[in-house]
C-alpha cells in the first residue's frame, strides 16, 4: 500500500477520481478483514445514495459507496416481501431497516427527519466495528456533529432535542446544559477549539476550523501507529476533507493536500520520481 501512495495522492486535479481509485486499490491490497473496516467508512456514501433513491431526488450515483444502484434496487424489490429477512441479504441490516421504514412511512424515531433517522441507524451500526481506533473515531465524529448542531441551535434559538443523532451522556448534556461548554470540557477532546470555531461568523472559516479539529484529533490519535490499517484509515478521512475543500475553496484544499503530502513524505521514503 505504501508504494501506491505517491501515484494516488500527488495530483489535486485528479483527487475525486483518486478517492475511487484508492478505494479500488484498498480492496485489492488489504486483507479482507481490514478492507471490511474500510468499507465502514464508505457506508456514508451508501447512505446518501439510498436516501437519494428513496426520495427520488436527482443526482448521480456516488461510486464511493459500497453498493451499486442495481444492487440497491434489487434489495428494495426483495424487501417488499414481508417474509424477507434483512439479515439474509448481502446488504447492511441498518439500511434495510431504513428502507422498509421509509417505504411504509413508519418512522423508527419519532419527530426526526428521515436523514437523521438514517444517521441514528448508521452510527449505531458503527458501534460494533471491531477496531478500537476506528470505532473511537466514529464515536468522536458523532459527538462532534452533535456539538456543532447544538451550537447552531443555541445560536438560532432552535429546539435542540430532535436535531441530535443518537443518545449518550454528551447528548443529554447538550440538551440540558446552559453552560458555554455544555459541561463536557473534560469529556470531549479539543472542545475549546470547537467552541471557538462556533463563534466564527464567516461560514467558510467556521467550517475550516471544524475540519481542522477532525484533522488534529486524527493526528493525535494515530501518532503511535506505524503504517497499520489505522494509518490508512486516517489518510482516507483526510482525503475526504481535502476533496470537500477543493470544491468549497481551492486554495484551502490545495494547502491541506500539500500538508498531507508533506506528512507522507516525511514519514515514508519514496523514489525520486515522486519528489515534488
3-state secondary structure the chain: CHHHHHHHHCCHHHHHHHHHHHHHHHHHHCCHHHHHHHHHHHHHHHHHHHHHHHHCCCCCCCCCCCCCHHHHHHHHHHHCCCCCCHHHCCCCHHHHHHHHHHHHCCCCCCCCCHHHHHHHHHHHHHCCCCCHHHHHHHHHHHHHHHHHHHHHHHHHCCCCHHHCCCCCHHHHHHHHCCCCCCCCCCCCCCHHHHHHHHCCCCHHHHHHHHHHHHHHHHHHHHCCCCCCHHHHHHHHHHHHHHHHHHHHCHHHHHHHHHHHHHHHHHHCCCCHHHCC
In the block, which residue shows the cell 431497516? 97
pLDDT confidence of residue 2 = 44
Cβ distance 46 to 92 under 8 Å?
A: yes
Cα 221 to Cα 25: distance, rounded to the nearest angstrom: 25
Gap between the Cα atoms of 138 and 155, Å rounded: 26
**Residue 76 to residues 11, 92, 115, 118, 195: CA-CA distances in angstroms?**
38, 12, 18, 16, 42
HSE (side-chain half, CA atoms, 13 Å) at 89: 22
This model's pTM is above 0.75: yes
User: What pLDDT sits at residue 254?
Assistant: 67
Residue 243: what pLDDT? 80
Q: What is the pLDDT along the chain (276 residues), one digit of tens a residue?
A: 444 444 444 445 555 557 888 888 889 889 999 999 999 999 999 999 999 999 998 889 999 999 999 999 999 999 999 999 999 999 999 999 999 999 999 999 999 999 999 999 999 999 999 999 999 999 999 999 999 999 999 999 999 989 999 999 999 999 999 999 999 999 999 999 999 999 999 998 999 999 999 999 999 999 888 768 998 899 899 888 888 777 776 677 667 666 666 665 555 443 343 333
Cα separation values, 198 from 53, 54, 211, 214, Å = 33, 33, 12, 14
N- to C-terminal Cα separation, the chain: 20
Distances in whole angstroms, Cα of residue 36 to Cα of each of 66, 207, 262, 267: 10, 30, 28, 26
pLDDT of residue 246: 75
Residue 82 dihedral angles phi and psi, to the nearest 5° = -65, -20
CB atoms within 10 A of CB 227: 11
Contact 246/254 with Cβ under 8 angstroms? yes
**69, three cell numbers:** 444502484
Amino acid at each position: 500500500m505504501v508504494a501506491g501512495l505517491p501515484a494516488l495522492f500527488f495530483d489535486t486535479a485528479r483527487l475525486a477520481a483518486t478517492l475511487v481509485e484508492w478505494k479500488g486499490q484498498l480492496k485489492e491490497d488489504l486483507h479482507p478483514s481490514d478492507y471490511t473496516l474500510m468499507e465502514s467508512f464508505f457506508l456514508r456514501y451508501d447512505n446518501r445514495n439510498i436516501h437519494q433513491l428513496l426520495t427520488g431526488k436527482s443526482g448521480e450515483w456516488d461510486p464511493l459507496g459500497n453498493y451499486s444502484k442495481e444492487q440497491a434496487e434489487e434489495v428494495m424489490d426483495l424487501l417488499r416481501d414481508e417474509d424477507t429477512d434483512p439479515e439474509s441479504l448481502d446488504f447492511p441490516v441498518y439500511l434495510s431497516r431504513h428502507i422498509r421504514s421509509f417505504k411504509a412511512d413508519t418512522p423508527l424515531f419519532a419527530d426526526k427527519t428521515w436523514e437523521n433517522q438514517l444517521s441514528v441507524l448508521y452510527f449505531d451500526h458503527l458501534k460494533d466495528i471491531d477496531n478500537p481506533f476506528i470505532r473511537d473515531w466514529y464515536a468522536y465524529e458523532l459527538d462532534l456533529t452533535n456539538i456543532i448542531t447544538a451550537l447552531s441551535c443555541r445560536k438560532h434559538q432552535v429546539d435542540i432535542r430532535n436535531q441530535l443523532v443518537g443518545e449518550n451522556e454528551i447528548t443529554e448534556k447538550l440538551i440540558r446544559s446552559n453552560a458555554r461548554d455544555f459541561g463536557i470540557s473534560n469529556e470531549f477532546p479539543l472542545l475549546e477549539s470547537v467552541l471557538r470555531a462556533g463563534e466564527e461568523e464567516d461560514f467558510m472559516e467556521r467550517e475550516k476550523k471544524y475540519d481542522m479539529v477532525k484533522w488534529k484529533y486524527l493526528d493525535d490519535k494515530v501518532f503511535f501507529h506505524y503504517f497499520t490499517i489505522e494509518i490508512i484509515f486516517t489518510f482516507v478521512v483526510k482525503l475526504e476533507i481535502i476533496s470537500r475543500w477543493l470544491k468549497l475553496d481551492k486554495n484551502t484544499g490545495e494547502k491541506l493536500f500539500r500538508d498531507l503530502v508533506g506528512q507522507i513524505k516525511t514519514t515514508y521514503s519514496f523514489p525520486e520520481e515522486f519528489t515534488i
